Structure 1
Amino acid sequence: MNFRILLRTLVLLFLSSALYSQVTVSGHISDPDGANVPDVQVAISANGRKLTTTSDNNGSFRFLHVAPGAYRLRVEAAHGFEAYERNIAAGTNAVSLSIQLKVSSVAQEVVVASEPDAVSLDDSNNRDQIKADASLLQSVPVFDQNYIAALSPFLDQTGIGTGGVTIVVDGVERKGIGVSASAIAEVRINRDPYSAETRQPGRGRIDIITKPGTPHVHGSFNFTIRDSVTDAKNYFAVTKPFEQKRIYEGSITGPAAMDHHTTFLISGTRQEDNLQSIVHAITPSGVTNANVATPLHNTEFAARISHDFSPANRVSLQYNVSDVVTRNQSVGGLVLAEAGTNQRVREDDVIFTQRIIVTPNLLNQIQLFYEQDYGPIRSTTNAPRIVVDGNFVGGGAQADMLQNENNLKINDTVSWTHRHHYVTFGVNIPNLSRRAWDDNSNRWGTYNFASLSDYQSAKPYSFTQQAGPGRAIFWMNELGAFVQDQVQLRKNLQVSFGIRYDWQTYFKAWNDFGPRGSIAYRFKDQKTVLRGGAGLFFDRSGAPPEADLNRYNGHTIRAVTLLNPGYPNPYPPGMDINSFPTNLVTLEPAGRVPYNINYSLTAERELVKGLTLAVTYRGMRGISLLRSR
C-alpha cells in the first residue's frame, strides 16, 4: 500500500515537473532587406504532434506552453518567399529565433493565405467578432465606401459611450479612418473585448489596420458614379431634382529607395455629392415647394513613408488631411433655403511611429499624433430665426461659430514575453488639446410661434437670444495607463487579467481604476472553446459639455429665454438682454465620470472545417450616467 502511494506521488511530481518546465518559442520573420513579413504560417512538429500559428503585422510569432524536446520548425512559402525549415531544441529557457526568408525563384508571385485555427484560446481570435480583410472589403459592396457606417450596426449601442463610436487606426484613437478604402488591410469589431489597452469594450470600438509599405509597387484606383436618372419622383417635389455622386479613390505603395529599406504609401479619395433637398412648407403666402441644392464635397489625402534602420528598428511618418465642405445644410422639409448653413471641417494630422525590438522577447512601440482642426459654420442669412411649429422655419439659421483645435496624442506600449506570460503595459493619452470656440450663434434671436395665425398676429410664445464675447479657450486633457498579463496556465487553459486607469479634466477621477479579466478553456476534442470575461469601463464627457461649461458661465455668453415676448421687439421698454438673468451651465459638485460593467460568456464550436458556431450572452450595467437638467 505504501509502495502504491509512493509510486503515485512520484508520477504526480513527474507530471508537475513536465508541466512547469514547458517554455515559450518565439521569433521574428524578415525578408532579405530586413523588412517584416506578416501573415506567414509557422509550424513546429515532433513525434506526430504539430503546433501552428501565423506571424503578426510586426513579423513576430510565438508558441506558448511548449514541452522540452527536439522540434522541426517550418515557415510556409508565402508572398513570393521560399519555405524555410530548421531544427530547434526546446530546453528549460525560452527560445528566440530570427528568421530571414529568401525570395522564391519563381517569376510569378504566389500568395498562400494561411488558415487560422478554427477555435483558439487567444482573446484576439475569439469567434464572437466581426472581421473583414482587404479582399472581403473590396468584394462586398459598401454604400459610398463608408465602412464605418456599414460596420456600426454590429456595435452594441450600450458600449459606444457618450463620445460616439471609438475608431482605433493602427493603435491610435482617431475621429476618422484617415486613409482611403483601398488602403485598409483589416477591420475588426470585438477584438480582445476585455483588453486593458483600450478605453472602450470590444463592442464599442472599431479597430482598423492599414496596409504597410511593400518592397514592390502595388496600387489600385476606383471610380464610382451614381445618378438620379433612375430615381423615382419625390411626392413633394414640383420637378424631379437632378442629383449625382462621384467618388474617386485609390492608393499606391512601393519602395521609396533603391535599398528597399524605405517604403511609401499614398492614398486619397474625393467624393462629390451633389444633392438637393426638397422644401415643403406652409408660409403666410401659401404652400412653398422648392428644390434647394445641398452639395457636400469631401477630399481626403494620406502619405506615409517608413524606413527600417535595422530589422529591429522601424520608423514611419505619416501626413493626413481631410477637408469637407457643405452648403445649405439643414434645409429641407419645413426649413426654408434662407435658414440654411454653410460649413467646412478641415483636419490636418502628422503621425510619428517607432517600433523597436529591444530583445526577441521585448517590444516597444511609441506613437506621436499631432492634430489641427478648423471648423467654421456660417448662416446663409443674417436675420432673426422664425420657427412656426408645424408650418415653416425661416429667417437666419443663427448658427455662426468657429471651432479650432490643436491636439497631441501619445501612445507608448511595451510587450514582454516570458515563459507562460505575455505582458503588455503602457500609457495612452488620447487628448492633450487646446480648443477655442468662437460662438456667435443666436445673436439675432429666435422667435417661436405656436401656429401660423399666432405668427400673423405677432404673438410668439418664447424668445431666446445670446450675447457676450463668445470666445472660450479651454484645455481638454485625457490620459490612461494600463498593465495586462496573459497567462497560459495549461495547453488548453488561458487566463488574462489587467487594470486600467483613466483620467480627464473637469471630473474627479482619483479612483477611476478599471479591472479587466477573461478566461478561455478548450475541451479535449480541440473543437470547442468556452470563454468568459468581465471588465469595468469608464466613459468620457467629450468636448461639447466641456465647451458649454466654459461658454455658459455668465460672462462669455449671456443666454436668456423670455416667455410671451413682444414682436418684433421682444424686450419691454428700457430693458435689454442684460436686464434679465442669464442661463448657466454648471457641473454637479458630486458629478463623476460615468462607467459601466460589461460581462459575457461564449461557447465556440467547430462544426466542420471552415464553419464555426459561436453563442454569446452579453450584459452591461451603466452607473452614474451623464444627464443634463
Structure 2
Amino acid sequence: MFRFHSCVGVLAAMLIFSKIVVGQASLTITGVIEDGSGATIAGAKVSLIRQDTNEIKKSTSGEDGTFSLNDVSQGDYVLKVEMKGFEAYQKSVSVGSQTWKPLKITLKIEAAKEQVNVNADSADELSTSDSDAATTRVDDDLLRKLPTLSDDVLPLIEKFASPPAQGTEGLSIIIDGVEGNSIDLPASAIRKIRIDRNPYSALFQHPGKAKVEVTTEHGHRKRYDGGLAMYDRNSLFDARNAFAKFAPDLDRRLVQANLGGPLLGKSSSFYISAERSMLDQDAIVNAVTLAGPLVANVPTTQHRDNIFARMQWWVSPLHTLYATYTFTDHTYHNKTVGGFNLPEQGVHDGRQKHSVTLDYSAMIPANLRNDLRFSFTHDNDQIGNAAANPAVIVNDAFTAGPSQVFTHDDRRNFDLQDTVYYGHGKHVATFGARLRTNLIDAFDASNFGGSFEFASLGEYAAGNPFLFHIVRGDPNIGFSVLVANGFVQDEVQATPQLTLTFGLRYDWQSTIDNRNNFAPRFAFAFSPGKSKKTVIRGGAGIFYDNLPGSATEQSLLYDGARLRELVISNPSFPNPFLTGETITPAPSIIRVAPDLQAPYLSQTSVGVEQELWHKNSLTVEYSFLHGTHLFRSRNINAPFPQTEVRPDPNFLNINQVESSAFERSHSLTVTFRGRLGKFFEPYAQYVFSNTTNNTDGIFSLPANSYDLRPEIGPADFDWRHRFNLMGAVTLPWACRLGLVLSAMSAAPFNITTGFDNNGDTVANDRPAGVTRNTGRGPGSTQLDLRFTKSFSVPLLWGEQRAKLKRNSLEFSVDAFNAINHTNINGIVGVLSSPFFGRANSALEARTIQLSVRYIFRR
C-alpha cells in the first residue's frame, strides 16, 4: 500500500510540475539526419543558435537518426549539425508562428576521409541529458581494435556490468529493443553496445548497470559494404594451464563473412552476416580418487553457427520498417567434464534458436514518434542422455559414473511492444506497453539412474554413502507464462542547466499473484554555470524482477505425482536397496510459496561528471542498492533440530521457493574516458563495493532451514575492488594496439563440513559458529592485447587512388592473459575434501590468436 501511494504521489508531482515549467506556447523542430546513401545517422550533434542572444539549444540524433529541439521561440537562428567523419552542416533558419514540418538533413562524407569511423567513447561536451550519463559505449570500430576471443564480445562487456543490480536470470541483453539473455549474433552484425544508458528509465525493467543494449548493423542504400575474417588458435603457441601436466590440445577456427547494400532501388537495403566456429580443446580433470591424484586432459568439441539477416525499408523519410532473422546452432561434446568431474561425466549439449523481429517506426509531424515491434523466438535445447547406472559423488574429491543430466526444453516466445515519444515545449513524454507470452514444453529425466553421495574419500573407501536418491515418473510438462508491463515517462528541460525525468512503470507476471508492482523512477542532471564542464547527476527508482520459468517448471514436475524422488539415507553400496535406515515412499517436492511476491531493487545514486580537458572526462558516482523479497529456496519439511521428526510425514523434503531474502550493496565508481594525446583512447573504470545478502540463488538451500541468520554474509560476487581498462593505441605505419586490462580482489567462498549433520539429506552444513561465505580466495589479473597492421587494397579491376582506403586488409595477433597470470576458478571450502583451502582449476593460461580480415566498400 505504501508503494502504491508513493507512485500516486510521484505522478501527481509530475503533473503539477509540468504545469509550472510549461511557459508560453513554443515550437518544436524535428527532423531526421542521413548520409549520402540514405542511411540514418545516430549520435549526430544538433545545435540551434539564436542570432541575437547566442542562446543555444542542443540535441543528439537517436538510433533512427531523428532529433527534436523543444521550446523554440520565434526568431532567427543558425542550425548546425556535426558528426565525426562528415562535413559540418550549417543553415540559417527563421522560426515564426507556423508549425514546422520535419526536416531532412543529408550529411556529406569528409573529402579527406573515405572511411567513416565513429568514436565509441566520445566525450565532446558534457550534456545534462539523462541519457548521456556515464555510459559504457562500444561501437563496431572499437570492437575491431580490442582483443576478443573468437570475436565473442559478451565477456568483454560483462566486465563493466554490476552483478548486484542484475536480476535472477542474470544480465539483461536487449538486442534492437528485444530483451533476452544472450548475444547470439556474429560480431560483425553488431553496430553498437551500451551499458548503463538511462539508468532510471521507465522503459526498461532493470537498472542501467544490469542491462546491455545492442544495436545491429543495417545495409546502406547507395553502396555495398562487406568483409571476410578468419581466426585461428592452436596450442602450439599456448602456455600450460596451471593444473595440467602439459599444455592442453587446442585448435579453434572461426570463419566470418558479412555483406550489406541496396535492395530494390534506393528505398531498401539488406545486411547479412554469418560465422562458423569450430573448437577442439582439452578439459582439465584435477581430482583425487582412491588410487591417488588424477590429472588428465580430456578432449572436448564445440561447433557453433550464427546467422544474422536484416532487411530495411525506408517507406518515407519519416517512416522506417525493418525485419531481422537470427539463427544459432550450438553443439558441445563432452560438456561438464573437468575439475572434479571425471571423463565419463561428459554429456552432449545441443541448442538451436530461431528469432524473427519486425519493427515499424513512424515519425508523425511534428513532434511525435511511434515504434511498434513484434518478435518471435523458438529455442530448442537438449542436454545429456538417459543414464543406465548411478553416479558416484564424493564431495569435492571426484564425481564418477554417467552424468545424470537429461533435459530437453522447447520454448516459443511471442513479444509485442509499442512505444510513443512525444515532444512539446520543455517536455519529452514517453509511454508504451509490452506483452510477452512464453510457451514451454519441458522434459527432465535427470537422475533417473540415481546418485550415491559420500562425505569423504574415507567414507567411499569404507563403502558408506550417506545418501542415495533416484527419480521416477513422467518427465514431461507443458505450461505458459504471460508477462505484461506499461510505462510512462516525462523528461523536462526545466532550465538550460537542469533536466528532470519522472517515470512510472508497472510489471505483471501470470505466475505471481502479487499485483502491486508499481515502480516509480526519478532522475536529474544539473550543470552549474554556462560552461557545462561539470554535471551533477542522480536518481532513485524501484526495479521489479520476474520469477524464472525454471522455478515454475520444477514446481510442476516435482509435485509428488508427476515425478517422485526416492531417497535412502545411509544405504548399502553398490546396491542401495539391501540395507538402509530410511526407505521412504514419501516424495520430495518443489513448490512455489503461495504468498510469493515479485522481488524488487531500490536504487539510489548521485555522481559528478567533470570535463578535465578537451574530450576527457572523469565521473565519480556513489550508488546504493537494496533488494527486497529476493528469491531463495528453503526446506520447510526439514527435520526439527535435534530430532528426525518432519512437520509433514506425507513428504520427505518440501523445497519451497520463497521471496524472503534480501541484498544490500554500496558502491563507489570512478570512470575516466577520453583521449590522451593523439594516439591513446582509454576507457577506465574502478569500482569499490560491498555487497551483503542471504541467498546464493533461487534454488540454493540454507544450511539450516529453521535458522536463516547464519546465511547473512558477503555475496558470491562481493569483489571489493574491481578495475577495468580498455583502449586502443594508434601506432605509426597503419598499426594499432588494443588492450583490455582487468583486475579484481578476492571473491568469498563458503566453508562446509562435507557431511549431512542435520539429517535434511543435503551436505551443506557448516561448522559451529561459521557463517556463509566467510572464506576469501586470491584476486585475479588478466591483460589481453591485440596488435593489428592494416593495408589498403585496391580491387582487382582497379579503382581511383582516392578510393583505396575503402578496401583494407587487416592482420591481427591477439595475446590473451599475456602476462600468463594464474587466475583460479575458486577455492574448495569442503572440510572433508583433500583439496580444502586450495583450488583445483584455473582459467586459461596465455593463448595466442591469429586473424586476418578483409573489409571492402563499393
TM-score, with length taken from structure 2? 0.67
* AA partner of residue 357 (structure 1): M
For this pair of structures, how many residues does the alignment match?
609
Alignment of 1:185 onto 2:191: yes
Q: Which secondary structure state, in structure 2, belongs to the residue aligned with residue 585 of structure 1?
A: strand
Mapped to 1, the partners of 2:218 and 2:444 lie a distance apart of: 42
Mapped to 2, the partners of 1:527 and 1:105 lie a distance apart of: 29
Mapped to 1, the partners of 2:311 and 2:21 lie a distance apart of: 50
Pick the aligned partner of 1:200 from 200, 206, 209: 206
* AA partner of residue 480 (structure 1): N
Alignment of 1:325 onto 2:331: yes
Q: Which secondary structure state, in structure 1, belongs to the residue aligned with residue 591 of structure 2?
A: coil
Mapped to 1, the partners of 2:412 and 2:374 lie a distance apart of: 14
Mapped to 2, the partners of 1:308 and 1:351 lie a distance apart of: 17
Mapped to 2, the partners of 1:233 and 1:43 lie a distance apart of: 56
Asked if the contact 2:78–2:90 (Cα under 8 Å) also holds between the matched residues in 1, the reply is no
Asked if the contact 2:571–2:581 (Cα under 8 Å) also holds between the matched residues in 1, the reply is no
**Equivalences for 1:572-583 in 2 at 5 Å?**
580-583=585-588
* AA partner of residue 135 (structure 1): D
Partner of 1:605: 610
* AA partner of residue 500 (structure 1): R
Asked if the contact 1:539–1:594 (Cα under 8 Å) also holds between the matched residues in 2, the reply is yes
Describe the shift of the 1:365–1:567 C-alpha distance in structure 2 as closer, same or farther (beyond 3 A). Answer: same
Mapped to 1, the partners of 2:461 and 2:507 lie a distance apart of: 55
User: Cα RMSD between the aligned structures?
Assistant: 2.8
Partner of 1:9: none
Mapped to 2, the partners of 1:239 and 1:87 lie a distance apart of: 72
Instruction: Pick which of 82-91 and 401-410 moved more.
Output: 82-91
Mapped to 2, the partners of 1:235 and 1:609 lie a distance apart of: 45
Partner of 2:406: 400
Partner of 2:142: 136
> How big is the shift at 1:483?
0.7
Partner of 2:820: none
Deviations 1:61-102 (A, max 9, x none): 1223434311122445877788462423154x7644322538
Asked if the contact 1:246–1:271 (Cα under 8 Å) also holds between the matched residues in 2, the reply is yes
> How big is the shift at 1:57?
2.3
Q: Which secondary structure state, in structure 2, belongs to the residue aligned with residue 154 of structure 1?
A: coil
Deviations 1:168-190 (A, max 9, x none): 11111123223211222211111
> How big is the shift at 1:453?
4.9
Asked if the contact 2:354–2:377 (Cα under 8 Å) also holds between the matched residues in 1, the reply is yes
* AA partner of residue 186 (structure 2): S
* AA partner of residue 609 (structure 1): H
Q: Percent identity?
A: 29
> How big is the shift at 1:263?
0.5
Partner of 1:382: 388
Alignment of 1:618 onto 2:611: no
Mapped to 2, the partners of 1:106 and 1:289 lie a distance apart of: 61
* AA partner of residue 514 (structure 2): A
Mapped to 1, the partners of 2:489 and 2:249 lie a distance apart of: 56
Mapped to 2, the partners of 1:406 and 1:263 lie a distance apart of: 29
Alignment of 1:463 onto 2:468: yes
Partner of 1:119: 126
**Equivalences for 1:185-584 in 2 at 5 Å?**
185-215=191-221, 216-234=223-241, 237=244, 240-257=247-264, 259-284=265-290, 288-379=294-385, 382-429=388-435, 431-525=436-530, 526-571=532-577, 580-584=585-589
* AA partner of residue 319 (structure 2): N
> How big is the shift at 1:500?
0.5
Partner of 1:43: 47
Mapped to 1, the partners of 2:465 and 2:22 lie a distance apart of: 85
Deviations 1:564-599 (A, max 9, x none): 01223323689998x511111112222201111101
* AA partner of residue 267 (structure 1): S
**Any unmatched runs of 5+ in structure 2?**
1-19, 635-858
Instruction: Pick which of 243-252 and 336-345 moved more.
Output: 243-252
Deviations 1:209-268 (A, max 9, x none): 1122212111222222111113334566555432122222232211122x1111011112
Describe the shift of the 1:99–1:238 C-alpha distance in structure 2 as closer, same or farther (beyond 3 A). Answer: closer
Mapped to 2, the partners of 1:112 and 1:451 lie a distance apart of: 59
TM-score, with length taken from structure 1? 0.90
Describe the shift of the 1:573–1:55 C-alpha distance in structure 2 as closer, same or farther (beyond 3 A). Answer: closer
Instruction: Pick which of 232-241 and 162-171 moved more.
Output: 232-241
* AA partner of residue 30 (structure 2): S
**Any unmatched runs of 5+ in structure 1?**
1-15
Describe the shift of the 1:224–1:564 C-alpha distance in structure 2 as closer, same or farther (beyond 3 A). Answer: same
Deviations 1:127-170 (A, max 9, x none): x2211222212112223322221121211211101110001111
Mapped to 1, the partners of 2:540 and 2:244 lie a distance apart of: 53
Pick the aligned partner of 2:158 from 134, 152, 167: 152
Deviations 1:439-462 (A, max 9, x none): 111111001123445435432210
* AA partner of residue 261 (structure 2): G
Partner of 2:32: 28
